[in-house]
Every structure is written in structure tokens, then in C-alpha cells.
């Protein structure tokens, strides 16, 4: 059934709802789970949780051996990243930046969406 209202009237009604806040969705309600995403400005961060939670490391350069920092909690256990560094960052399978697994462009914040990659990360640095 077609509406008898003109497109201009429908547009005005939609604008009224949006302005009143009745149509708005807050970012917090749109998330699957609460996120922390602690990360120092201009750095790259990796987390053990899917939503920027859990153990994390915030870095400006790289980490040659994830087993050697933060009690090894992130070695083979990276579930999400936040890149606000201004650079592209690479995750590597092995200690010493060997066997690149994937890259994250500046501005990305979210989970690692590739099955099994988080279980293999041994080192990380700007590409």
C-alpha cells in the first residue's frame, strides 16, 4: 500500500524524528559488547580480547618477540587491534618479523577477522 504523503512531507517527518533524538542509535547500544580500546595517541595497540579488552600493549615501534613482553600474554593470542599511529602495521607469524600474516591500515579499530591469525602472532611492527 502506498503512502498518501508526499516525499517532501515524509522527509520533514524523518528530519523531525532525527532532531528529537527518537530516531538516533547511540554507539554504545550498537556494539555487541563493551569495549575499552585503551591506546595511547599515535600508537598501535594489540589486545587479547575481541573488543579492545583484556591484556594489551600500546607501541610506537615494534615488538620483536611478543613472548618477551607483558608476561607473554599476547604471544599467539592477539584478538583485536587499534591503529591510530598514522602508519600501516604488520603482524608476523614468528619472532623477529618473519612470515607476514596481515596488515592493518591507520584508523582501523576492531577484531582480527581472519580465522587463526590471532593464534599465530609472534611479532609486530610498522610495515
pLDDT digits 0-9 by tens, 107-116 = 999 999 887 8
pLDDT in tens, 56-109: 999 999 999 999 999 999 999 999 999 999 999 999 999 999 999 999 999 999
For the chain, the average pLDDT equals: 78
Confidence grade of residue 35 (pLDDT, cut at 50, 70, 90): low
Look at domain 33-126 and name its CATH class: mainly beta
Q: Is the dihedral of CA 42, 112, 71, 120 positive or negative?
A: negative
- How many CA atoms does the CB half-sphere of 30 hold within 13 Å? 4
Amino acid at each position: 500500500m502506498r503512502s498518501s504523503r508526499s516525499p517532501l512531507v515524509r522527509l520533514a517527518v524523518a528530519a523531525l524524528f532525527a532532531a528529537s533524538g527518537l530516531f538516533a542509535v547511540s554507539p554504545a547500544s550498537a556494539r555487541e559488547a563493551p569495549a575499552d580500546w585503551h591506546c595511547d595517541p599515535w600508537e598501535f595497540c594489540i589486545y587479547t580480547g575481541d573488543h579492545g579488552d583484556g591484556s594489551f600493549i600500546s607501541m610506537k615501534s615494534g615488538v620483536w618477540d611478543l613472548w618477551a613482553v607483558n608476561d607473554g600474554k599476547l604471544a599467539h593470542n592477539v584478538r583485536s587491534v587499534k591503529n591510530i599511529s598514522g602508519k600501516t602495521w604488520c603482524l608476523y607469524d614468528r619472532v623477529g618479523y618473519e612470515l607476514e600474516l596481515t596488515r592493518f591500515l591507520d584508523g582501523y579499530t576492531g577484531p582480527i577477522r581472519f580465522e587463526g591469525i590471532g593464534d599465530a602472532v609472534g611479532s609486530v611492527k610498522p610495515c
